[in-house]
Each structure stands twice: as C-alpha cells, then as structure tokens.
C-alpha cells in the first residue's frame, strides 16, 4: 500500500513540476447509491418498529464534495486523482425518539481522462472539451447507527467500523474553460463496488438478524459533480503540448 502511495505521489509531483497543463478542481455534487441489502435492513427496522410514526427512509442520495487534480500525461490524456467525501443519511425523528443510520463515504478515485477529440492535436481550439473518464480506487466507509443521539452497540461494544472497499468507475465529463486560468468541469460517473461488507450493520440497527439480512453486497453508484477548475501552470496549450511560437513574416516592400 505504501509503495503504491509513493508511486502515486511521485506521479503527482512529476506532473505538477512538469511544463504540462494541470488543473486543480473543487467540486460539489450528488452521489446516489443503488443496492438492496442495507435498505432491507432499514426496511426491516421500520417494519418491526410499527410504533414509530416516522419511518427511516432508504439510503439513496447524498451531497458530495471533492478536491481533484488533473495532470496531462500525453496529448488528450490526463491523469486525475481526487478525494471525494459523501455522507449518506437515513434518519427518522419521532417524538422523543430519533434514529439515524449514517454512512460517511470517503473515496480516492484514480482516473484517466481521455479527450478523444484532442488526440494528436497540438492545440485545442474549443473551450468546451468532452472527455471519457475511467479508473478505480478505494473508499473508506464509516457506518454508524445512532438512537437518541447515542451510538448503538454490537456485542456490548460501540458500533463504529471502518470498511475499505475497492471500486472501479467510468463516466463522461466536459471541461469548459472560461479563460486561461479558470473554468468549469461537469462529470457523471458510474461506480461499481464488487463487494462492501458493512460488518454487523443489521445488528447495529435491528439488534438481531433473525431473518438473515446480509451486510455484504455489491453497490452501484452514480456521482454527478460540478467543479470549479483552476489552472495551475502558465499558459500552455490545452492539449499539453508547448505552444508554437507565432512566426512573424517580414513584409517585403
């Protein structure tokens, strides 16, 4: 893990110090997840606690925030690591009784941005630049269940696991450069986690698992982000190639 992290750091430093065109992105957006197991656990909670007037909703959407970096690798090809934070919440407020299932979700995707219209081009004439993004990474998930603002327990110990699932991702994006140092970025990304085990989530919420609810499940997710982009380096071509000097012709008289 340390080795991979070191390589990643070296790559970022290399790109930052290179003469290439790099971006720093600050993003906000929406993340939606689609899976069955955890929501069945929540639905089981609701089904059993028929005395609660307000049921807990499913875990489905959350705002997300991220910091990203894009560094050019070659003409039309960028490397884009980022750090994304989401917090999914399912909460119910009943009279003198509150229930909250919270899933903090920190992701580190490492992606390649492929600008197919810019391969082999020395410069980009358009300020609107669509691209494909593919990659993968790891997430840190921190599920918590709170009843009346107190963390619940499993086997008499506070339920506060940390889970590190891997994912792969693919999606579409478009950069829009307002000027040479500032722009916008929109991405719509599909993420798939082959397996996430929320260790004892059903016990933490329901206190039992009599009907065999599963805590381990594959998860599909969509994220939509709008970013403000800052260009880090001096004026270079959008494709990453050094701009060619304008040739001045001598006028013959």
Partner 1 sequence: MDRRILLRNLLLGLPAGYIIPSVLSSCTKTDLLEMADFKGGVIVIGAGASGIYAAQLLKDQGIDVTVLEASSRVGGRILSDESFAGIPLELGAEEIHGQRSLFYDLVNYQFPERLLPEPGDNLYWLENQIRTEQFILENSDLQGAGQTLFQINESFGSYPGGDMSVLLYLNDFPVEERFMEIANAIIANEYGTSLNRMGMFALREAEAGYSSGLDGYFLREGTVWDVFSKAFSGAIDAVVLNQVVNRIDASGDQVSITTTNNQTYTADRVLVTVPITILQSGSIEVLPALPADKLASIQNISMGNGMKILLRFSAPFWKPETGSIIGGAVVPEYWVSTLGKATTAHVLTAFVMGEKADALNVLSEQQVRDTILAELQSMYPDEEVTGNCVGVLVKNWADEPFIKGAYSYPNPESTGQREILARPEHGKIFFAGEATNYNGHLATVHGAMESGYRACKEILES
- Nearer of residues 48 and 123 to partner 1, judged by Cβ: 48
Token readout for 230 is: 């800052």
| CB 246, min distance to partner 1, A | 24
Q: Which residues of 169-198 are buried (b: 16+ CB within 10 A; e: fewer)?
A: bebebebebeeeeebbbbbebebebeebeb
**Cβ–Cβ under 8 Å, residues 222 and 193:** no
| CB 40, min distance to partner 1, A | 5
Token readout for 91 is: 């909460």
| CB 129, min distance to partner 1, A | 9
- Nearer of residues 49 and 89 to partner 1, judged by Cβ: 49
Is residue 39 within a helix (H) or strand (E), and if so which, with residue range?
A: helix 37-48
Could you write out the DSSP letters of every residue in 133-176?
EEEEEEEEEEEEEEETTEE-EETTEE----B--EEEEEEEEEEE
- Nearer of residues 116 and 243 to partner 1, judged by Cβ: 116
Q: How big is the chain by its Cα radius of gyration, in Å?
A: 23
Q: Which residues contact 116 (CB under 8 A, 6 or more apart)?
A: 76, 131, 132
- Nearer of residues 47 and 182 to partner 1, judged by Cβ: 47
- Nearer of residues 178 and 211 to partner 1, judged by Cβ: 211
| CB 190, min distance to partner 1, A | 6
Residues found near partner 1 in the complex (CB under 8 A): 32, 34-36, 39-40, 43-44, 47-52, 58, 94, 96-97, 117, 126, 128, 130, 147-148, 152-156, 171-172, 174, 186, 188, 190, 203, 207-211, 220, 222, 224
| CB 234, min distance to partner 1, A | 26
């Amino acid at each position: 893990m340390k080795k991979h992290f070191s390589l990643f750091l070296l790559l970022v430093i290399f790109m930052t110090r290179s003469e290439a065109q790099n971006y720093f992105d600050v993003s906000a957006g929406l993340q939606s997840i689609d899976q069955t197991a955890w929501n069945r656990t929540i639905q089981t909670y609701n089904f059993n606690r028929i005395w609660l007037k307000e049921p807990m909703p499913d875990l489905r959407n959350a705002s997300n925030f991220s910091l990203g970096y894009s560094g050019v690798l070659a003409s039309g090809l960028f490397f884009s690591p980022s750090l994304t934070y989401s917090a999914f919440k399912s909460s119910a407020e009943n009279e003198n009784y509150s229930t909250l299932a919270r899933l903090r979700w920190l992701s580190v995707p490492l992606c390649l941005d492929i600008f197919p219209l810019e391969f082999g081009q020395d410069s980009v004439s358009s300020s609107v630049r669509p691209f494909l993004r593919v990659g993968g990474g790891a997430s840190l998930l921190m599920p918590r269940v709170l009843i009346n603002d107190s963390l619940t327990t499993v086997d008499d110990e506070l339920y506060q696991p940390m889970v590190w699932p891997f994912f792969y991702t693919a999606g579409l994006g478009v950069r829009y450069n307002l000027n040479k140092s500032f722009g916008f970025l929109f991405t719509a990304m599909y993420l798939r986690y082959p397996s996430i085990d929320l260790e004892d989530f059903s016990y933490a919420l329901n206190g039992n698992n009599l009907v065999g609810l599963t805590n381990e499940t594959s998860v599909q997710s969509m994220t939509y982000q709008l970013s403000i982009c800052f260009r880090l380096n001096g004026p270079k071509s959008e494709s990453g190639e050094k701009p060619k000097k304008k040739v001045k012709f001598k006028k013959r008289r």
